[in-house]
């Protein structure tokens, strides 16, 4: 294949990446706490071999390819979605709930569907243990279930006093967070948000910040870009066939 075919192939790979991300956004438009993702690409220049670069025009000294750099999350919060459950929470501002999965590893989520398990631990809807500001699983005694409440600063209390404070972790660089594929995020370098900086709404959860109309527009744009790329590829193939045919008639 010649250089033009390789360039087109890199472009189509980038379109495939955009398609995967947009489709995943659409699939999670109703997922609580989900944040829209968008792929980030950058130009990769490969130096041409042969003639010294100085002898070539500036625009022809390298071959530009599309390189998949990473995916970034839209940090805008979703709307508050009331559920009527006093244990359901939404983080009003930056931060993530720290949870412990079945393997004992710490992960992060903004989906605030919470409940008390049969073992008396505060867990998410997926069964992950919710951690307090010190990184310890929160235990709820049986006599506290009827009056359990979560305050604006994340304090978990009942009629006889305070049990714990739900830990909210913030990351100075949220690009360090990576999706695990099960609705949770992994990352390092986080720090516990101070009590005075923690703002939590109870009685509901954060809805997804995906806008289906915007994602539909993105999918249409990807389709049209694919069609344009295929048209260019077909034109290059026709030029190649014509060149071969002309060379075959020489002599």
Whether 57 shows a pLDDT value over 60: the answer reads: no
Distance CA 251, CA 247 (A): 9
pLDDT band at 24 (very low <50, low <70, confident <90, very high): very high
- For the beta sheet containing 155-158, the strands, ordered from the edge strand earlier in sequence to the opposite edge, are 149-150, 155-158, 161-165
Whether 50 shows a pLDDT value over 80: the answer reads: no
Other beta carbons less than 10 A from residue 81's beta carbon: 15
pLDDT band at 136 (very low <50, low <70, confident <90, very high): very high
Whether 251 shows a pLDDT value over 70: the answer reads: no
Beta-carbon contacts of residue 89 (< 8 Å; ≥ 6 apart): 97, 112, 114, 150, 166, 200, 201, 202, 204, 205
pLDDT band at 85 (very low <50, low <70, confident <90, very high): very high
Whether residue 41 is found in the same domain as residue 121? no
Whether 60 shows a pLDDT value over 70: the answer reads: no
Q: What is the pLDDT of residue 46?
A: 55
Distance CA 157, CA 165 (A): 9
Q: What is the pLDDT of residue 47?
A: 55
Q: Compute CA distances 244 → 2, 196, 240, whole Å.
A: 14, 74, 6
State mean pLDDT over 221-241: 89
Tell me the β-bridge partners of 97.
Answer: 109, 168
Domain coverage including residue 190? 80-206
Whether 109 shows a pLDDT value over 80: the answer reads: yes
State mean pLDDT over 186-192: 90
Whether residue 139 is found in the same domain as residue 234? no
Whether residue 228 is found in the same domain as residue 168? no
Which contiguous run of DSSP H or E holds residue 200?
strand 200-202
Q: What is the pLDDT of residue 105?
A: 92
Whether residue 125 is found in the same domain as residue 52? no
State mean pLDDT over 127-149: 93
Distance CA 239, CA 222 (A): 26
Whether residue 197 is found in the same domain as residue 214? no
Q: What is the pLDDT of residue 164?
A: 94
Whether residue 219 is found in the same domain as residue 134? no
Distance CA 149, CA 156 (A): 6
* Residue 132 per-residue DSSP state: B
Tokens standing for residue 165: 């404070």
Whether residue 200 is found in the same domain as residue 229? no
State mean pLDDT over 60-84: 79
Whether 69 shows a pLDDT value over 80: the answer reads: no
In 3-state terms, the chain is what percent helix, strand and coil (to 5)?
Answer: 30, 30, 35
Whether 117 shows a pLDDT value over 90: the answer reads: yes
Mean pLDDT of the residues in the chain: 87
How many Å separate Cα 25 from the centre of its chain? 9
Whether residue 227 is found in the same domain as residue 157? no
State mean pLDDT over 39-62: 58
Whether residue 69 is found in the same domain as residue 85? no
pLDDT band at 108 (very low <50, low <70, confident <90, very high): very high
pLDDT, tens digit (0-9, with 9 covering 90-100), for 141-166: 999 998 999 999 999 999 989 999 99
**Is pLDDT larger for residue 8 or for residue 87?**
87
Whether 237 shows a pLDDT value over 90: the answer reads: no
**Is pLDDT larger for residue 6 or for residue 209?**
209
Whether 113 shows a pLDDT value over 60: the answer reads: yes
Whether residue 91 is found in the same domain as residue 182? yes
Whether residue 106 is found in the same domain as residue 178? yes
Instruction: Say how many domains are in the chain.
Output: 2
């Amino acid at each position: 294949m010649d250089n033009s075919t390789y360039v087109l192939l890199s472009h189509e790979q980038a379109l495939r990446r955009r398609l995967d991300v947009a489709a995943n956004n659409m699939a999670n438009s109703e997922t609580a706490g989900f944040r829209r993702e968008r792929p980030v690409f950058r130009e990769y220049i490969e130096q041409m071999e042969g003639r010294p670069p100085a002898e070539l025009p500036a625009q022809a000294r390298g071959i530009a390819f599309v390189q998949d750099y990473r995916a970034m999350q839209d940090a805008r919060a979703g709307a508050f979605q009331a559920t009527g459950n006093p244990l359901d929470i939404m983080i009003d501002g930056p931060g993530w709930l720290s949870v412990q999965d079945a393997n004992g590893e710490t992960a992060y989520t903004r989906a605030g569907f919470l409940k008390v398990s049969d073992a008396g631990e505060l867990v998410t809807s997926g069964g992950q243990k919710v951690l307090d500001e010190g990184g310890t699983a929160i235990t709820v005694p049986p006599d506290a279930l009827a009056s359990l409440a979560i305050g604006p600063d994340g304090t978990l209390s009942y009629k006889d006093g305070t049990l714990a404070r739900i830990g909210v972790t913030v990351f100075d660089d949220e690009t360090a967070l990576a999706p695990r594929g099960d609705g949770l995020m992994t990352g390092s370098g986080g720090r516990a948000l101070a009590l005075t900086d923690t703002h939590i709404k109870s009685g509901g959860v954060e809805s997804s910040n995906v806008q289906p109309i915007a994602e539909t527009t993105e999918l249409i744009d990807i389709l049209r870009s694919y069609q344009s790329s295929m048209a260019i590829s077909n034109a290059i193939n026709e030029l190649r066939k014509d060149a071969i045919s002309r060379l075959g008639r020489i002599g």
